[in-house]
Every structure is written in C-alpha cells, then in structure tokens.
Structure 1
Amino acid sequence: MKFKILLALIFVNLMQAQKFYFPKTAVTDSVVLEKQIPNLALQMIPQLQTTKHKPENKIDYLDILFRLEMLAQDYKKSIASLSENRSLFADHNMGGYRFIGLELYSMAKIIQKENNSTFSNALQKAFHQKYESLPEKLVPRLGLALDGDVKESRKLLKKVLDKQKDKDSIDYGTALSLCKSYLNYKTYSGIKPQVMQLLASKCKERFITETKDLKLKNGNILTITIVRKKDNTSPLPVILTNNIYAGAIDDFFGRRAATYNYVGAVVNTRGKRNSTSINNPFEHESEDIYEVIDWVSKQPWSNGKVGMIGGSYLGFSQWAAVKKPHPALKTIVPQVAVGIGIDYPAQNNIFMSYMLQWIQYVTNNKFTDEPDFANATKWDSINTKWYKSGTSFRSLDSISGKPSKIFQRWLDHPGYDEYWQKMVPYKEDFSKINIPILTTTGYYDDDQIGALYYFKQHHQYNKNANHYLVIGPYNHGGAQSFGFTYVNGNPIDPVARISIDDLAFSWFDYILKGGKKPEILKDRINFQVMNTNTWKHVSDLDKMHTSTLKFYLQDKKNTSSVFDKPVTKNFTKQIVDFTNRDQKESYYKVGKKDSIKTTHSIAFESEVFDKDMIISGNLSGVFNVSINKKDFDTDTYLYQIQPDGKSFLLSTHIVRASYAKDNAVRKLLSPNTIEQIPINNSIFISKKIEKGSKLLLLVGVNKNPNWQINYGTGKDVSDETIKDAGKPLEIKWYNDSYVEIPVYKD
C-alpha cells in the first residue's frame, strides 16, 4: 500500500513539474518503447491544451494534436483534427498535402480494425480511397508528400532517445520531440515502399514519363525528364524547368505542367543525375538552356512554343535563359529568383555563411544531400566555430572539413563584376528582352531583392517591357507554391491566400493558348496590403507609396517628433569591439513576452501614432557617419511595436559601406571623416500600421556568425582575421541621417 502511495506521489510531482513517467528501458527496448508511446501521448494531450503549451495559432495546435491522437491510437479523432487543420487552408485548397502520409496510416488502421484485414490490404484500400478523392491539381504533389526519409527519421528518433538514457522521466519539450520523431519513423517505415509503388502505378495510368540524356554541342550531357498526360495526344506548348535540385521534385515539376495540360520538361544542370560534367552552379545556364529549348521545341509532342517556370535557383535560370533568348521561348515565370551576385551568395556585397551549406547541398552527390543540408546543428556549429576562432572567412570551408573550389571562387569576386554579370542579363541586355514575364515574390522572401532587381532593371532598360509583378505576404516557399495561412507565426489576410500554381498556369494559358489574362493582374505591380484584406494595383514600384516619412536618428525625448529634421547637428556614438566573441547580448524590452536583440545596434523610437497608416514600399534614405576605420557593414531593422505590445519586423537592410554607392567598384571610407552611405535594396513590405503603434528603428553593425565580418582595414574582407581588428570600431551616427519610410494613402 505504501509503495502505491509513493508511486502516486511521484506521479503527482512529475506532473507538477510537467514531466512524465518514461522508463529507461524504453530507450534500449523497442517493445517497451512501443508500449509506452501511447501512454505518453495520452498524458501529453491535456498538457497541450494548457496556456503554457498551447501554440498561439490554431494550425500549429492542430498539427501537434492530431499527431498525439495518432500515437494514442485514437485514429478517428486524429483524422477529425487533421480535417479541421486542413480546413484552415480551404481558400486555396492546397494546404495540408504534406500530412497525407500520416492520414493514410490512420485510415489504414481504422480499415484494418473494421475489416479484420492485414495492414497491407487496409493501406491499399485507404490509398485508393484517398487518391480518388484528391483534386487533380494536388496529385503531382503526392510523390513529395509521401517520400518521407525513413533513415533520417530513425536517426532523429535515436538522437532523442539517447538523451533519455538512465532517466525515468521526460519533460514536455523532449516528449514532444520524441513523439514527432517516433511517429514519422513508425509511419513512413510502415507505408513508404507500398504507397510509392501504388502511386507509381497510378502515375503510369495517367502520365507518359520519359527520361533522356541530351548531348550538347560542347560535349556536355544533361538529363531531361519529359512528362505528358496520356489524354493529350496533340502537340502542346512545353513548360520547361531548369533544375539543380535533381530528385523526386523533377517528377513533380513535370507532372504539375502535364496536369495543367502542357508538356512538362525538366532538365537537370551539369553534374546532376547522368551528367559526367563538373557541377559549377550558376555558371553555364545561359549557354546550356538555349540548346535545351532548341531541342524541346522541335520534338513531335511540342507545338514549338516554350515557357519556363521555377523558383529560387530555378528562377535565376530563366533570367540566364533570356540573356540570349531562343525564338521558341515565348514567356518566363521567374518566382523568388536568386539575384546572383546581388542577393546571393552576397547580399549588397556581404557574403553569407549559408552559401557553403548550400554549395555542399547541391554538389555532394548527383542529387541533393538532404540530411547534410537539414543538419542545422552541424552548420550552426561550423559557423559558430569559425566566428569564435577569428580566422578569415576563407577558412570556413576548411573548418567544415570539406574545402570547396566553388566557395573560394565566389569569394574572389566581392564586387558585382564581370564574373556575375555574364551569368544573367546586364544593363543593355535587358533592353532586348521583349517576351512577356510574370514575376512573383513575397515580403518574407529570402530572394526578394534579387526578384525585384530583375524587375527594375528590365523596366529601366526596356520602356516597353511587358513584365508583371505579384508580391504579397509570402515567404520563399509560399511565393512559388501557395499563400500559407500563417507566415512567420502571423496570419495572412484571406485575400492573399492564393494558389501561385494556378496564377502561373493561368498566365501560361493567357500567353501560350490565347486564354484570359489572370484577374489579379490589373496593372504592372500587384501588391497585397497586409491587415486590410485588399490588393492594390499600380503602374510602377514608386507608386506603391504616395509620400514618405523621414525617420531621423534622434532621441524622441529631445524633439517633438523623430520625423522632424533636427535643428542642431549632433551624433550618437557606437563602439563595436570585433575581438569580443563572447559578448553578452542586450535586448530592447517590448512587452511582457517580447524583446528584440540590440547587441550591435542603437535603438531609436518614434512617438505613438494617433491614426492608422499604411507603410508600402521599401526603405531608402542616407546615413551620415564618421568612423575610425576604412569600412564597415551596416545593419538596419525597422519594427512596428503594435498596440498590444508585440513587435512586427517590417523591413531590413544590410550593406557594405564601401560598395553602397556602386556595387561593382569598392570605394573605401576616409577615417574620421563624415561620409554618406545611401540606403538601397532594402526589403519591400506593404502593411497597415494600426493607431496606437510606434516604430522602432535599429541601426548598427553586422557582427554575427551568419555573415562575413568586416574589420575595416580596407583589405579583401574574406582575408581579414581577428588580428586585423585593432582598436574597436567607433561610429558617429549623425542625427541628420534618416531612414525614409514609404507611406501609402488612397
């Protein structure tokens, strides 16, 4: 009896500490683990519903809930929670596809129990039921959704279990990680081989798929995948994608085009799949794609018209293709296009650590190295090790254990020189691009600067450019697929939740088949104003705003408004010690639960707005500064502090001061002399700022493991080390400096 009371007390104490009983034998015995997981999930469900653990947005909450219900073996409830989750994506009917594998498992378990059948037979029945119920345009995504990485999920499960060695209890966070990794492993190890075979059989019924090797005139071999719908027997326009990310996604791109009643052609870059050529990303697209277009346009299944589509690198590829346009190329749809040399691998001339991770991702093998790329712990460790060591940025690849010629070659071109210019149209090249173009990007897109660079250059050099832009509250993935319901934890307006796929192929219907112009394209620039549930349409980027506010670098305590030009010239002094790699972080307290890191920044706060305002466009302005070195990298953030006390990041800007006036030619600063640094190529946004909000402007110096560190000697920044740091950087930010904020009024 005493023993039972003791166990009860232990259980109560564990619950109060938000820990759960979990025997140490479960770590080493898979049978014990399988028995314990349902009990653990049952205990966690009530905890999920508490204030402490319940996610702020409903999608995240339902995502966790249906997984825990699955593990608790309540499959009917799990499917109900999943259906509720999916209903939140109803506006574009595309969200939730990534859960289909888990849904099939739950369905199969229910069928298995009801029919007293084998799991294999139940899974087959569940698959056919689900497949037949799916919208046709969702079918191409099935291959990606069902292609769970069993090996990687097993590795993640082992990692979580290893942390539990010699422990008889588990905290909520670790338990959640354990449940997620166990569920992924259990599900995909149980269904993947069978469902992938079932899907392949369905695809053979619907599509004709061919994979060929194309030998180019220069001797290089490229692998190309052609997908056609069996029902389409007449020649059709070809939608071509140039893809460095060789793998299952090739089939997706091909099937997607075929589903929209085109021929899908997906060519892999040099060095991928069957190609024996050297893989040098970005360098040969302009040359190779011309020949690929020539080939596909002359095939019997082609009517001679070619369009191109794709995002990120695939978006860049389209701009490479129009450097020397093939006559058969009738339109391109570059989505979130990498601005090579503009926003990647350096943004405004500052190289990013991420470039090495990406290089290895696409060059480690003939496909993509998904486990290595997704290993955030590894890459954070490499970047931190470099940062702490104080060695040159050039040493980053050696620190990773895998020296890279590509990484070193890119670092040899810190300015926007001929190396980058030859990859895509440059200046007058844009004047010769006369085909219709549709660009899509987003306010949260990592390559927004690149996408807009091409758009601006095209209109600058070709006054008759037939080039449309759609930009809204989308991230890098959303602006090339569909508008997610939540982005960065914030809900987006219902009107913004559009299918980018539908938009792109409506555009192809318009250009290649004489169809109707997409409804959303009412003018050259089509942008969604967040928090208003409306789209606006203007003829050029400058018309996204009707006026501006100059936010001067001054303390609001010393002026009636930070938007009034200072009467007396003064400065705020900032000191940054580049030798200090263990600096204590500092924060700006926003509310009870919100704070903003300000370690290497100075904060300037505006007064509270007494009426609503729409900020629409991107930041401009000028910094008047004096430094004791020859160069530095500025780092700027503009936040909205909302009436509820929460922060919202509106825009950012980063630039190497010596390249701020000309990204091709470096001009060092004169120490202890007032210099002007223009603000260009900042992040665009369009959002209503509610009455009762204020703005927080952070200006400072880039110093973190994610970017090069500019020590200010004037030498090639990639070669500088902590030994070059010398005295701390001293900056005088003069109060006549200002960040110009674009404002829209109807």
Structure 2
Amino acid sequence: MKLHPLMLALAATAVLPAAYAADAVTPMTPDGVASYQKIRPEADFIKRVEMVPMRDGTKLYTVILMKKGTTNAPILLSRSPYDAKGDAERTGSQHIRDIVPVMDVEFVEDNYIRVYQDIRGMHNSEGEYVTNRPLAGPQNDTGIDESTDAYDTIDWLVNHVPESNGKVGIVGSSYLGFTTLMAEIHPHPALKAAVPQSPMVDGWMGDDWFHNGAFRNVNIGYTVMQGTAKAESGGIAVGAGDDYSRFLEAGSTGDYLKKWGFENYPFIRKMTENPAYTDFWSLQAVDKIMAKEPLKVPTMLVVGQWDQEDSYGAPAVYNAIEPKDKHNNMVSLVIGPWRHSGVNHYGYKLGALTFTGDTAHEFRVKYMKPFFDHYLKGAPDPKTPPVLTYATGENHWNVSPKWPMGKAEKIYMTDNMGLSFKPAANENAHDDYVSDPAKPVPFIPRPINMSDSHQWKPWLVHDQRFVSSRPDVLVYTSDVLNKPVHIMGAPMVNLFAATSGTDADWVVKLVDVYPNTTSEGASQGYVGPEMTGFELPIGIEIFRGRYVKGFDKPEALTPGKVEHYHFGLPNVDHVFLPGHKIMVQVQSSLFPLYDRNPQTYVDNIFFAKKGDYQKATMSVFHSSNIELPIAK
C-alpha cells in the first residue's frame, strides 16, 4: 500500500522520540567525546597528515596543506624541530589564509602546496633527536642526517602528492634555516630552490652557542626545553626574577647548570666539555661543508641586520658559495632591518625604530615569492638582485652586484675619548678601566628576563645610554657629521689592548648617536622625542681573549702585554646621517647573555671557582680602530 506523504511524515515523527530516548542524556552521561573534526565541510582547504618513511624505517610526522582545487602545484617544504602540527593549525578558521603563518599566506593562496615536517626525534616524529645533527661522515657513522631525511622526504612527496607538479622549494628560519641548507647538500633532483633564513651555521664562531669563544647563557633554557620529552615538556623551572642576579649568585655557568639540574643534558655536556674551536665544532660548520660541495640549488640567503641569535650564518654561507656562482644568478644575499626571523613577521618597526611600511611583507611579495615562482612554477625570471639590503638611517632598499660594497676606511680611538678618521697623534697612549666580574656590565637594563620576548627580540637596538656613564665602559665619540657616512659590509675591529689579568673578554659596540633634537621625522626611521639623543647600536660583538693566538689554541694572556684582537661586527647597510655622531664603546662583559670571564686563566671557564674571578685593569690603546666599509 502506498502511503500518503503526510502519513509518511507522521510515521517518521512518531519514531523520533523512541530513537532519541535511546540516546537520552542523564546527569551522569560522560561529557567527553573522542574527537572533534575542526575542518568542516565548508573549509576552503585540504589537510593531510602523513608519517613519511625514511631510508632507515623511521617515520616523520608531516602535514600537507593546500587550497581546494589546487592542481599541478609546487611544494614548499619546511623541516622543523618546533612542532609541525602547530604550524599548520594556528587558528580554527575554515580559511587557509588564517591557519598558516603570515609568511605563507601568499603562497597557499596561489596554488602552492605547503608542507611542514617534524624532524626526527621531535614532537610527533619517530627517532632520536640530535641537535644540529652532523652530516654523515667523521662525526656521524649512521649514514643518516638532515640531508638524507630531506632527500627521502622530497622523494616521498613528489611520488605521493598527486596535486604536485614535481618541483619542490624549501624555506625556513633559524633551526629551519639549518635544515634548509642541509637539504642542499646532495640534493634531491626535485629540489629547485631554497631560501635559508637566519640559518644556524657555526654555533661556535658566531651563531647560537658561542661568539668568538664566549658562551651564550641565553641558550641554556632553549637546550633544556628542546632536549626534554621530544620538546613537549614546556619551560624550565627557574621561576621569575632577574636573570642578572640569578646567574651572578650561582657563580660560574657550570655552577648554574648544577644548581638547576641541567649539567648532564647531552648537548649541555657537548658545549661545556668542548669550549674551544676544535674539530668537534669546525667539522660541523655548514659554511665549511658547503664550500666543498657543488652549487646545484638556486639559493636566497636572508638575515636580519639586528639578528640577536644567528647573525653569522647567512653571510658566512654567502662567502663560501658565492665564488661558485659564475654568472651571479644562483646565489643572492638579503639583509633586512629585522630581528631574528623578523622576515617572517611584521616589519613595520623594531624596538624604537619605525620603518616606512611593512618591510618584511614587501620583501616576501616583491622578491622571495617571485624567486620561488620562477624556479617552481616556470614564471618569468624576476632578475633576483645578487644582493638586496635595506639602508637603515635613510630607510630604503639597495640593490648591489656583490657584498660587501664598502671599502674599508679606519676610524681611530683618539685623545680625549675622540673618534677620528685620522690616526691618533700618539698610538702608545691608552685609556684604562677596571673590569670587576662581581659587577659585570648588563646587556640590557635590569631586571633582565631573557625568556621575555619583549626584552630579547629587540635588545640589539636598545638605547646604549644606560651604560655610557659606567666607569667600566670606554666611550669614544666623533665630531658631529657634516655629511652622511654610508657603510655596507661587516665593520672590522682592530683592538690593541692589554690587561693586568691573564684572560679577558672584549666587547666592542659601533653606535649611531642621534642629535639632541626632534626635528627629524619618520623618513629617517624614527618618530617622536623618544629618539632625542638616542644611542643606536649598529653592531655589537664579543671576543674571548684567550683565543687571540687561535680559536683552537686557548692560552693565558701575559699581564700588561698589548695584543691585537681582530674580529668582525655583524654585516650591515646603514647610513650615519649628517647631524649624527659615530660612537664606539668598549667594555669587558655583556651579562648575563654571555658568561663572565674570571679574568684569571683557567682551563675551562665553565667550571671556574669563586676565587678565580678577579678585578683587572684593561687598557685600550689609541692605535685601536674600526675598519668601516664605506660605500661611495
């Protein structure tokens, strides 16, 4: 019998209460559910999670994201120790542009497949984590490294992602800059372009762990967090407070490590047991490795001018591989007005400095994406500049054929704490100060919390007036400039100095002193009276005296003997404007960012005893100078 539609509706309604009653909730119905599908049918994107197998059977957690309708698309890969799952779900939005990091928006909106992967041993990947895992060879007999893992990942992706066009680019900053560079060593044929940003290249010479032999205390917390429970354990348990007091009261850095239970972490031991630049570090240096490898992958190296973590790596790799670029079209260097990884965020300002627009977005859209589009999508050649730098002070981009562009001109420390392009009348004259390890010079005003991003990220542009009047900081200042001084390169320090002790640290700062007026405006990179008389650091670097004869040969200094300390400041493109002054500051500590030098020679500063820390008189001679790379 055929029922009338109304009867069918009534029949259906009749069974609903019974069906509903079977699932009825009570006060004791458990309230948990197994899962919730965050990606709704209306989402404009596709997300896949895969465990990608490596050649040794280890599987790596890999997230694949693309906009719906994506076809014949290039893959943009990042390999990270910082949680690929989080990178791929920033919000619960149903729009792909809202869930990816801001640097990826233009790519996913333009037919790119975005892939994020946890490196082995981290977060949701299998395997064992080794910090900056050495390349297979003398220090790694497993045959497995970040190069092989990148190769295996790319091979899997081009064979298992049907929407792909078979071309892959790789990008990433900091540790991800390191994995980007490693992918270029013995690269997969499908790897067509790479953009390593602020890469970790040589952790002893000038990136994360040491600078010219001085240890960076700031990385202790990072090392502990990354080395605990696949980086899933959260922060370290030192509590709130002033890091200056915390480190000073502990004693040596070794005492600090022991106090907080960090001393037996494997990577902590690697650092504390290898304080000099022996093969332990030099064989891991990525720039030295890449100097020996053929140049196969077009590479755009990126760094921030005020990169507080990895200022060394990108220029070092550029110097290593650019000579192989016979036609000046395979390797490019970019220096932007950013802090560490600032290229991937918003580039309107840094600390008190304000720029003319979002410099980071401008770079990504005008230069980085066209670079990838050319090599991965067959877009017209964008004629990527061999060198692209942002001239701070005048605030505009410069395109150059090479780096450095400036020619070295010396500016000397002179009588009456002056600074001049003419040599001092008496090069044997000197200025003295007493360095007391019990009262080290802070690197930013106290209280200091190195885990506070608001303090840490912009510290390299902090107004230096907070230390200018300290008796243990020498301050040399030029006359007021009557014309611009434009530097393009790495200023080189020639410090002729002596100590009454048997070891010493030397900190040199190149500073732009702003006029004591408010007449200059936003076009010069700042706004408002807060910049009146501002002492803007253009470059800050440290050198541990025991390495003056060789980074692999520490030795005691001879009290009173003048030594020549030669080292570089970070690479910059900066204009000292008319009306400004050039300043150089010299001191012997930068605490607690760097560990204290006891100023008496001990075999290993990590384990210096209380009695080893002694005052010393430091003498800086007027033959000292800075070689400024001045562009004409």
State TM-score, norm by structure 2. 0.76
Could you say which residue in structure 2 is the equivalent of 1:209?
47
Could you say which residue in structure 2 is the equivalent of 1:550?
410
Could you say which residue in structure 2 is the equivalent of 1:536?
398
Pick from 237, 240, 250 the counterpart of residue 389 of structure 1.
Answer: 250
Deviation per CA, 1:499-541, whole angstroms, max 9, x where unpaired? 444333221111122213446x3x3111121243432222222
**Greater length-normalized contact order (CA 8 Å, ≥ 6 residues apart):** 2
Could you say which residue in structure 2 is the equivalent of 1:354?
218
Could you say which residue in structure 1 is the equivalent of 2:577?
690
Q: Which runs of 5+ in 1 are unaligned?
A: 1-195, 588-592
C-alpha separation in 2, matches of 1:276 and 1:428: 27
C-alpha separation in 1, matches of 2:393 and 2:379: 33
Change (3 A) 1:628 1:327: farther
Deviation per CA, 1:596-622, whole angstroms, max 9, x where unpaired? 314442111111112233233321131
C-alpha separation in 2, matches of 1:428 and 1:699: 34
Conserved 8 A contact 1:637-1:652: yes
C-alpha separation in 2, matches of 1:396 and 1:450: 29
SS at match of 1:504: helix
Deviation per CA, 1:699-728, whole angstroms, max 9, x where unpaired? 1212522211222414122222332124x2
C-alpha separation in 2, matches of 1:348 and 1:533: 31
Change (3 A) 1:567 1:581: closer
Cα deviation, residue 738, structure 1: 0.7
C-alpha separation in 2, matches of 1:494 and 1:274: 38
State the AA in 1 paired with 2:169: G
C-alpha separation in 2, matches of 1:310 and 1:346: 22
Cα deviation, residue 667, structure 1: 5.2
Could you say which residue in structure 1 is the equivalent of 2:435?
576
Conserved 8 A contact 1:642-1:694: yes
Could you say which residue in structure 1 is the equivalent of 2:307?
445
State the AA in 2 paired with 1:742: P
Change (3 A) 1:582 1:222: closer
Conserved 8 A contact 1:455-1:467: yes
State TM-score, norm by structure 1. 0.65
Pick from 710, 714, 717 the counterpart of residue 605 of structure 2.
Answer: 717
C-alpha separation in 2, matches of 1:422 and 1:211: 36
Which structure has the highest helix share of the two? 1
Conserved 8 A contact 2:547-2:555: yes
Could you say which residue in structure 2 is the equivalent of 1:735?
622
2:329 is aligned with 1:491: no
C-alpha separation in 2, matches of 1:582 and 1:661: 26
Pick from 501, 505, 511 the counterpart of residue 633 of structure 1.
Answer: 505
Could you say which residue in structure 1 is the equivalent of 2:68?
230
SS at match of 1:709: coil
Pick from 99, 104, 128 the counterpart of residue 278 of structure 1.
Answer: 128
C-alpha separation in 2, matches of 1:238 and 1:217: 21
2:186 is aligned with 1:328: no
SS at match of 1:315: helix
Cα deviation, residue 414, structure 1: 2.6
Conserved 8 A contact 1:355-1:407: no
Pick from 254, 267, 282 the counterpart of residue 406 of structure 1.
Answer: 267
Cα deviation, residue 197, structure 1: 8.0
Conserved 8 A contact 1:293-1:326: yes
Conserved 8 A contact 2:174-2:341: no
Q: How many residues align?
A: 529
Deviation per CA, 1:322-364, whole angstroms, max 9, x where unpaired? 2332332222111122234131111222221111121233334
Cα deviation, residue 460, structure 1: 4.6
Pick from 216, 219, 239 the counterpart of residue 76 of structure 2.
Answer: 239
Pick from 322, 347, 355 the counterpart of residue 459 of structure 1.
Answer: 322
Pick from 525, 538, 552 the counterpart of residue 387 of structure 2.
Answer: 525
Cα deviation, residue 467, structure 1: 0.8
Change (3 A) 1:197 1:563: farther
Conserved 8 A contact 2:342-2:360: no
State the AA in 2 paired with 1:472: G
Root-mean-square deviation over aligned CA pairs: 3.2
Conserved 8 A contact 2:287-2:316: no
Could you say which residue in structure 1 is the equivalent of 2:95?
none
Conserved 8 A contact 1:347-1:654: yes
State the AA in 1 paired with 2:185: K
Deviates more, 1:688-697 or 1:312-321: 688-697
Deviation per CA, 1:656-689, whole angstroms, max 9, x where unpaired? 2333564455455333322111022x12222332
C-alpha separation in 2, matches of 1:581 and 1:693: 29
Cα deviation, residue 582, structure 1: 10
Conserved 8 A contact 2:509-2:584: yes
2:382 is aligned with 1:515: no
- The 5-angstrom pairing of residues 165-244 of structure 1 reads 200-201=39-40, 205-234=43-72, 236-244=73-81
Conserved 8 A contact 1:335-1:480: no
2:533 is aligned with 1:669: no
Change (3 A) 1:273 1:495: closer
2:203 is aligned with 1:344: no
Cα deviation, residue 468, structure 1: 0.8
SS at match of 1:567: coil
Conserved 8 A contact 1:322-1:425: no
Change (3 A) 1:435 1:280: same
C-alpha separation in 2, matches of 1:672 and 1:402: 38
C-alpha separation in 1, matches of 2:445 and 2:155: 58
C-alpha separation in 2, matches of 1:273 and 1:424: 26
